[in-house]
């Protein structure tokens, strides 16, 4: 596959959990778990960290060239900083600055995303693009269970016909683990999920 760039946006402030990206999980900062997985994937040529927290990252040992030269830290432009800036705006800024044939995007809040899952997703994306069956990929949880509305009415099943849950129509939940796309697919929808996406099921934890 041609050049692949991973995007790992990271900001200093978090609205819900203060400094969450840098809090220690087991024995290292949260961001390092997924970053270490990205670094270990040979198919990924470069990792871009778009951030307003260069100093905090540096104090945690993360500088340009980290990971055998793979990591590039990009200072987030002031006009796209803040809690209410859409993630697609951050991605668009990176795409304008860094050329690649494919972009993989994930979050620091995915510490259990393994290198193996990343590699399988990249392979599935590459095959789908080559076959013309998809222009992008996003990860999902497959769910087969009985859903109800707030008023108690059934959503996806007939309570009078008690099918086994494994026989119910599966629903798929976007889980924000991983997105793979091209500059062209992003431009078509102005989003990381293109106009002809494929869903990639990841293990439930």
pLDDT-derived band of residue 205, with 50, 70 and 90 as boundaries? low
For β-strands 4-7 and 46-51, DSSP reports them as parallel
For β-strands 197-201 and 136-143, DSSP reports them as parallel
| Number of domains into which the chain is organized | 1
pLDDT-derived band of residue 131, with 50, 70 and 90 as boundaries? very high
Q: What is the mean pLDDT of the chain?
A: 92
pLDDT reading at 201 higher than 60: yes
CA distance 9 to 172: 25
Pick the more confident residue, 53 or 116: 116
| Domain assignment of residue 41, yes or no | yes
| Domain assignment of residue 90, yes or no | yes
Summarised one tens digit per residue, pLDDT across range 153-165 is 999 999 999 889 9
Tokens representing 9 are 């946006």
Summarised one tens digit per residue, pLDDT across range 134-152 is 999 999 999 999 999 999 9
**Per-residue confidence (pLDDT) for residue 153, from 0 to 100:** 96
CA distance 43 to 1: 8
Can you give the residue range of the structural domain that contains 61? Answer: 4-136+176-188
| Domain assignment of residue 157, yes or no | no
Q: Are 30 and 110 in contact (CB under 8 A)?
A: no
Query: Which positions ≥6 away from 27 have C-beta within 8 Å?
Result: none
| Domain assignment of residue 8, yes or no | yes
User: What pTM was estimated for this model as a whole?
Assistant: 0.91
The share of the chain scoring above pLDDT 90, in percent, equals 73
pLDDT-derived band of residue 65, with 50, 70 and 90 as boundaries? confident
**Per-residue confidence (pLDDT) for residue 3, from 0 to 100:** 94
Q: How far is CA 89 from the centre of its chain?
A: 15
| Domain assignment of residue 146, yes or no | no
The share of the chain scoring above pLDDT 70, in percent, equals 96
| Domain assignment of residue 62, yes or no | yes
Pick the more confident residue, 176 or 2: 176
> Which residues sit opposite 133 in a β-bridge?
none
Tokens representing 111 are 């510490």
**Per-residue confidence (pLDDT) for residue 1, from 0 to 100:** 46
| Domain assignment of residue 201, yes or no | no
CATH number of residue 95's parent domain: 3.90.550.10
CA distance 130 to 17: 41
| Domain assignment of residue 160, yes or no | no
Range 37-62 average pLDDT: 92
pLDDT-derived band of residue 15, with 50, 70 and 90 as boundaries? low
Summarised one tens digit per residue, pLDDT across range 77-110 is 999 988 889 999 999 999 999 999 999 999 999 9
């Amino acid at each position: 596959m041609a050049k692949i760039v991973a995007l790992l946006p990271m900001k200093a402030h978090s609205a819900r959990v203060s400094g969450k990206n840098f809090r220690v999980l087991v024995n290292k900062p949260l961001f390092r778990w997924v970053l270490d997985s990205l670094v270990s994937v040979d198919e990924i040529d470069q990792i871009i960290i778009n951030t307003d927290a260069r100093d905090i990252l540096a104090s945690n040992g993360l500088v340009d060239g980290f990971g055998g030269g793979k990591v590039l830290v990009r200072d987030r432009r002031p006009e796209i900083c803040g809690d209410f800036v859409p993630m697609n705006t951050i991605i668009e800024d990176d795409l304008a600055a860094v050329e690649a044939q494919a972009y993989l995007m994930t979050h620091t809040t995915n510490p259990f995303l393994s290198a193996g899952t990343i590699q399988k997703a990249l392979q599935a994306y590459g095959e789908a693009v080559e076959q013309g069956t998809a222009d992008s990929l996003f990860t999902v949880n497959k769910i087969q269970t009985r859903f109800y509305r707030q008023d108690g009415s059934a959503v996806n099943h007939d309570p009078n016909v008690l099918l086994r849950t494994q026989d119910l129509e599966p629903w798929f939940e976007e889980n924000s683990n991983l997105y793979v796309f091209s500059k062209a697919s992003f431009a078509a929808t102005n989003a990381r999920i293109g106009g002809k996406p494929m869903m990639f099921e990841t293990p439930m934890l």
